Amino acid sequence: MPGPEPIQIDGVHIPGLGWLAYGISKQGLFLALFFFRSLHDALDRLKSVMGDQSGYVPVTESPAQAEWWRDTFQDYFAGGNPAEHPETVPLDSRRWTPFQSTVYMTLRDEVKWGETISYGDLAALAGFPGAARAVGTAMAGNTGGPFIPCHRVIGARGQLGGYSGIGGLDLKKRLLEHERLHPRIRSGDPEHP
């Protein structure tokens, strides 16, 4: 019987935000945790959170793959192509329920860089009117951040609501402020081909 599929881990520094640690599988992004003061802290926390989750074992990834993922995260937080087209980033969705998958894909595809949406409006947009609380639970289980941008989901009256990411509401505020201060780069922009 084959052993568990290894999760390859690495980290990347995002200017102005800190260190991000991530794990990937053959399917795509398995988990991302952000932001930390050092790469060591980021990777230690990632290993701790992943543990023996679903039988996965952290390993070191190949240099070419590491470079692609580092570039993708850096470009995303700069407002580049992955921010405009997050659907191009592969995600490991095997642990998601059908409800989570629908809500996450709706959030990814419909709520763009610098925008926000309420839990209730996201529930309705995803085809589950009245399921605001269930959407909040789904956001707490999001493993596809930042490409499933749960920081953009806020309360009905504009309050931030909860945020289960490391750093809590302070991180949610930082991410929303980061997007406000770093407009998304549109494809075809002559200054950013």
| pLDDT value of residue 193 | 43
Q: Could you report how far apart the first and last alpha carbons of the chain are, in Å?
A: 48
Q: Are the C-beta atoms of residues 116 and 152 closer than 8 Å to each other?
A: yes
Task: Indicate the range of 16-20, 22-26, 148-152, 183-187 predicted with least confidence.
Answer: 183-187
| pLDDT value of residue 120 | 95
Q: Which of the two residues, 71 and 183, has the higher pLDDT score?
A: 71
pLDDT digits (tens, 9 = 90+) for 73-115: 999 999 999 998 999 999 999 989 999 999 999 999 999 999 9
C-alpha span between 58 and 9 (Å, rounded): 6
| Bridge partner list, 153 | 117
| pLDDT value of residue 70 | 92
Residue 149 CB contacts under 8 Å (≥ 6 apart), including other chains = 86, 107, 108, 111, 175
> Cα angle at 7 between 67 and 31, to 5 degrees?
80
Active site residues: 150
Q: For the whole model, what pTM was predicted?
A: 0.86
| Bridge partner list, 58 | 7
pLDDT digits (tens, 9 = 90+) for 138-191: 999 898 989 999 999 988 877 777 666 666 778 888 889 999 888 777 655 444
For the segment 40-54, the average pLDDT, to the nearest whole number, is 82
The model's confidence at residue 12, banded by pLDDT at 50, 70 and 90, is very high
